[in-house]
Amino acid sequence: MKKIPIVMDCDPGTDDALAMLMVHAAKNIDLRAVTTVAGNLNREVTAQNALDITEYFGIPAPVAKGSYPIMKKFEALDISVMGEGGLGNAALPKAQGEFSPYNSVELLHREVQKAAGEIVILATGPLTNVALLLSVYLEDRELIREIVIMGGAVYYGNHTPRTEFNIYTDAEAAKIVFQSGIPIKMIGTDVTYRTPVTRKDLDCLLSDGKRVSKFIGDLMFYPGDGERPFPEEGIYIWDGLAAAALICPECMEWKHVYVDVETKGELTYGETVADMDHYLKQPPNVHIAFGCDKEKFIGIIQKTISAID
Ligand code: BDR
Ligand code: CA
């Protein structure tokens, strides 16, 4: 099977960590590099988490440190959501290995050039690094096969009434990426909110005593402020769903529409404005996921666990 070469640009982050394991384990994906960005936490912590995860699970991909938002003041996620270290209840040994000598933008550029025309970027954090790549290395725009993004919200935000966290964190960057002309798949709140994962879905996967299962359990069962029980209606595995969309695009329902990003609105900064009814008469630039076969999604997590020791 020909594997899809990818770079994962991320801000681990509990769900980024799971997504990383998913693409590492997937038979049809070749994870070539991990580039990190400030998002859920500051750039030092997301980078260290990524290095710790790759080393602990033997993921043979270099890890680079990334950027802060281009124009907006950086605001990390509230620590009650993913814990102080960003990985919920998981505590990994500090990696002994080194970061890539390149920063995230340089490492992305090198991988784009190496796999000219083939590379797919899986972006599960704010789009800062990707926007900088497309701005500094204009020639790379022609060489990226696709960008698969966890981010955006057509109908309901998860961070403000109209916005999703990754896009809100750096809307100027998102605008550059969405307007780049590169094929984009958007896995936003429209599909994550339709795909809640319940305790039952996870319990049956994670009771095998494997260390990878324990790690995923520690990521997913983090009770936030220490009081909150696992929600009965389930949790949303945002970045895991983006990884699944890359591994199995046919597991999702897609609509091809024109999307632009709001960067000026007082109440709507970071909104992904999707022209569902063609008012703007622009050609579609984004495939948006609106549905996912949950059994298949859970099946991909199951395969991830089986493939990793
Ligand atoms: C996204 O924001 C982050 O908190 C998660 O890691 C995910 O990428 C969900 O809105
Ligand atoms: Ca993320």
What SS3 string covers the chain? CCCEEEEEEECCCHHHHHHHHHHHHCCCEEEEEEEECCCCCCHHHHHHHHHHHHHHCCCCCCEECCCCCCCCCCCCCCHHHHCCCCCCCCCCCCCCCCCCCCCHHHHHHHHHHHCCCCEEEEECCCCHHHHHHHHHCHHHHHCEEEEEEECCCCCCCCCCCCCCHHHHHCHHHHHHHHCCCCCEEEECHHHHCCCCECHHHHHHHHCCCCHHHHHHHHHHCCCCCCCCCCCCCCECCHHHHHHHHHHCHHHEEEEEECEEECCCCCCCCCCEEECCCCCCCCCCCEEEEEEECHHHHHHHHHHHHHHCC
* Ligand 1 atom closest to 13 (CA): 6
Mean pLDDT of each 10-residue bin along the chain, 309 residues long? 96 97 98 98 97 98 98 89 90 97 98 96 98 98 98 96 97 98 98 94 90 93 64 92 98 98 97 97 98 98 95
pLDDT value for 228: 65
Whichever domain contains 155, its CATH number is 3.90.245.10
Return d(Cα 26, Cα 13) in angstroms, integer.
Answer: 20
- The Å distance, Cα 279 to ligand 2 centre, comes to 32
**Mutation probe of ligand 1 site: the residue of 40, 156, 222 with most atoms within 8 A of C-beta:** 40
Q: What is the pLDDT of residue 227?
A: 58
What is the predicted pLDDT for the residue at 226?
Answer: 53
Nearest bound ligand to the CA of residue 192:
1
pLDDT given at position 229: 74
Distance in Å, CA 206 to ligand 1 centroid: 22
Query: Is-contact 34 7, C-beta < 8 A?
Result: yes
Mutate to test the pocket of ligand 1, among 79, 150, 167, 187 (most ligand atoms within 8 A of CB): 150
Proximal ligand: closest to the CA of 40: 1
CA 136, chain centre distance (Å): 22
Q: In this predicted structure, what is the pLDDT of residue 197?
A: 94
Residue 144 φ then ψ, to 5°: -95, 125
Ligand 2 centroid vs 281 CA: distance in angstroms?
Answer: 32
* Closest alpha carbon to 133 in 118, 113, 152, 148: 113
Of the bound ligands, which one is closest to the alpha carbon of residue 158? Answer: 1
Q: Which residue's C-alpha comes closest to atom 4 of ligand 1?
A: 40
Task: Enumerate residues lining ligand 1, CB below 6 A.
Answer: 13, 15-16, 40, 77, 124, 150, 158, 164-166, 238-239
Name the residue with tokens 């935000």: 157
Give the nearest ligand 1 atom to 14 CA: 6
pLDDT at 1: 85
Give pLDDT, residue 84: 85
Ligand nearest to the CA of 153: 1
Residue 189's domain comprises: 4-307
Interatomic CA distance for residues 298 and 200, integer angstroms: 11
* Cα 235 to ligand 1 centre (Å): 12
Choosing from 16, 36, 129, 165 the residue with most ligand 1 atoms within 8 A of its CB, the one to mutate for a pocket test is 165
Please count the structural domains in the chain: 1
The 3-state secondary structure of 162-186 reads CCCHHHHHCHHHHHHHHCCCCCEEE
Mutate which of 10, 11, 154 to test ligand 1's pocket (most atoms within 8 Å of Cβ)?
11
Instruction: Tell me, in angstroms, the distance from the centre of ligand 1 to residue 166's CA.
Output: 6
pTM for the whole structure: 0.97
